[in-house]
Amino acid sequence: MIIKELTLHNFGVYASTNTFDFTGEKPIVLIGGLNGRGKTTFLEAVLIALYGSNSFAFKESRYNSYGQYLRSFVNKNDGTLMTFVELEIELNNSSHDKYIIKRSWDAKNKVRSIESISVKKNGRDDEFLTKNWSMLIENILPSALSNFFFFDGEKIAELAVDNTGSKLKESIRAMLGISIIDSLKSDIKRNAGRAKKKKTRSQEEIELEKLKSDKKDAEETVNAKDAEIKYKQDRLAELEKTIEEKKAEYAAHGGDIVEQREALEKEKAILSTYMDNNQEEMMQIASGSLPLILLRDLLERIETKGTNERDAKVKKQAREFIEDLYSKYEEKNDDAGNIDDFIKYMKEASDPGDKAPIYNLSDTALYQVVTLNETELKSKVTETISIISKQKSLDSRYDEIENYLSIDVNVDELKNIDKTIQKMEKAIVRLETELEMLESERSNANGQLMRLTSEYNKKVADLLERMETDDDNQRVVKYSEMAINVLDEFSKRVQRSKTGKLADTITECYKELANKKNLIDRIKMDPDTLDLTYINKAGDEVKKTALSAGEKQLMVISILWALAKCSKKKLPVIIDTPLSRLDSNHRKALIQIYFPQASDQTIILSTDSEIDRHYYELMKDNVGDEYTLEYNDDTRSTSIRKGYFIGAL
């Protein structure tokens, strides 16, 4: 995949419309800007265009909902409150398909923003892709792997000093597919935890709870209700965020395709009818005069020859008529000799010679030949070309629908996701209802006795119900623990089968980048813990503390490089502030080795202090496109211009 163009309209610090057009044939794209000028915003725009609410930037943000996250990017300078991002990408497949993804939204609603998405394929609007884009992009570049290709140098620096290595392990587990197993284990543990909480309390606890409830006064009741209202409000916000993620997952797995299938089948049947009608029209034309186009040259010769024969025949008839008149004239006049010369000339001019007529066409037959050549055949050819063009268009759309209908959708998996969404929606409705009831109960705190009695009866009823379900809860806990043990063993075996190859690739990448060639000879990865061990040529372990801060960061970049290689996906790499904390030697290694080889397209977002004149000269032979982000203090907005800081001088 290659990024061809990115357009930002009133997005973040970018006011009005700004378009990055990447046409260079060299692998590196260099975008320069001082801090706060929009480099990170560029990266987030790409993630929003590709993934929407599945973007890891949104998931790591402080916003509870995707709508609030979008709203935060609306630039209000021109007063329209309208924003969009448009991304054009080209796939590295045999047909080099091009896709344009456009997401637009506004901030006119004071609560949240709702986006609109449209997708074009090879210049044509594609309704199917518009509805199922999240499913296609998950096949091209799964969102779980996107941080291997799009990353922030500052965050890489944080990973480099992370002693636990937990974030890197999460990335490695995502590439190995273990994160899916972890999610399943978390769900099982959560269910088991709920079952444990539902176990019946002892008789002593029930009696103690009764005594406490008897002693409560109206103020304690109000405080309890306040706490419960706060809890349910937090839970409601959590559910709203989670349901958005589940809906995004539903769409990513082709959730809407089942509903679209019937409409596509109908369109396919209609197209088939049109194609049959087209064939019929073609047969009718072929059964008429169209085949005579094969004899076009012969027909034209017949027309020419027939016309000549007709002219000769007319001339002969005219001469004979004149001769006849002249003969009659001679009988009456003695001085007709002067006309003899004219008659002689006329005979010579109109004499066809000894050539006998070949076709001897009648005027009607000649007219038919001329009409056939000049009008009918041309008309039939034009009509045939039109029908063939229409047939190609019908065939193309028919094949396109066939491709859509051939997509394999896991209906069972979609049903499970849909059931989860429905349960969550019911839970939201239930929570909203409970909140209304709690607020009403709080306002009626003066009915102390009735409230205490109601609370007591409710607790007793809840406990009786829990007592009846204790056995079921115990079974849930037991089998959940068994399932977790099985998943633990499975994830370990998956890790053991893949970590060796990954460790070798990390070693190769690090050796290409590292300055101290002899410090680390190879890198080992524990198949169970995913911990990395650095080994020198003597076979001894090199402690992590022996590495400088820059070398640690270089190691993290080597790991990400290796993860990208092992994923076997040819995708662009976007690096924000790439040279943070690196010394001059390591910066040189990244510039001369990593940047040109990281991908077919490497987009670098840099400050002028990171890639200065010296480093620019080192890398410019590999730079295809350059842009500089310019900030206007008056409008507090960024615009773009061609050329990097140094390259533009």
Q: Which of 187-191, 225-229, 330-334 has the lowest mean pLDDT?
A: 330-334
For 349-378, the pLDDT digits (tens) are 656 555 666 766 676 766 677 777 777 777
Q: Which of 57-66, 381-390, 471-480 has the lowest mean pLDDT?
A: 471-480
The answer to which of 217-226, 347-356, 601-610, 626-635 has the lowest mean pLDDT is: 347-356
196-223, pLDDT tens digit by residue? 665 544 554 555 466 455 656 655 776 7
373 DSSP assignment: I
Percent of the chain with pLDDT strictly greater than 90 = 17
Section 515-522 average pLDDT: 73
Report, as an integer, the average pLDDT of 175-203: 66
Q: What's at 529, amino acid-wise? A: T
Q: Quickly state the pLDDT bin for 344 (edges 50, 70, 90).
A: low
Give me the mean pLDDT over the 182-193 stretch: 73
**For residue range 552-561, what is the model confidence (pLDDT) as tens digits?**
778 888 888 8
Q: What is the pLDDT of residues 452-469, one digit of tens each?
A: 555 554 554 555 555 555
pLDDT in tens, 257-302: 666 777 888 888 898 888 888 888 888 877 777 777 777 777 677 7
Per-residue model confidence as pLDDT tens digits over 1-24: 899 999 999 999 999 999 999 998
Residues 6+ apart with CB under 8 A from 81: 74, 106, 107, 108
pLDDT at 640: 93
Integer CA distances (angstroms), 336 to 274, 326, 330, in order:
78, 9, 6
Give the 3-state secondary structure of residue 391. helix
Average pLDDT over residues 393-407: 81
Least confident of 41-45, 209-213, 223-227: 209-213
Q: What is the DSSP string of 482-545?
A: HHHHHHHHHHHHHHHHHHHHHHHHHHHHHHHH-S-TTT-SEEEE-TTT--EEEE-TTSPEEPGG
Nearby residues of 518 by Cβ (< 8 Å), 6 or more positions away: 536, 537
Q: In 334-469, which ranges are continuous DSSP H helix?
A: 340-350, 363-371, 377-405, 411-443, 448-468
Neighbours of 88 (CB within 10 A): 20
User: What interhelical angle do 178-197 and 470-513 show, nearest 10?
Assistant: 150
Question: 68-77, 179-188, 382-391, 517-526: which range is least confident on average?
Answer: 179-188
Q: Mean pLDDT, to the nearest integer, of 80-94?
A: 90
| Strand partners for 100 | 88, 120
- The phi, psi pair for 21, rounded to 5°, reads -110, 115
- The answer on pLDDT for 619 being more than 50 is yes
- Mean pLDDT rounded to a whole number for the chain: 78
Task: Give me the sign of the Cα torsion angle 171, 172, 176, 182.
Answer: negative
Statement: residue 336 has pLDDT above 60? no
**Residues 393, 275 contacting (CB under 8 angstroms):** no
- pLDDT confidence tier of residue 649, bands split at 50, 70 and 90: very low
Confidence class for position 70, pLDDT limits 50, 70, 90: very high
Return the minimum-mean-pLDDT range out of 45-54, 370-379, 452-461, 602-611: 452-461
pLDDT at 185 over 80: no
Which whole number is the average pLDDT over 220-241? Answer: 81
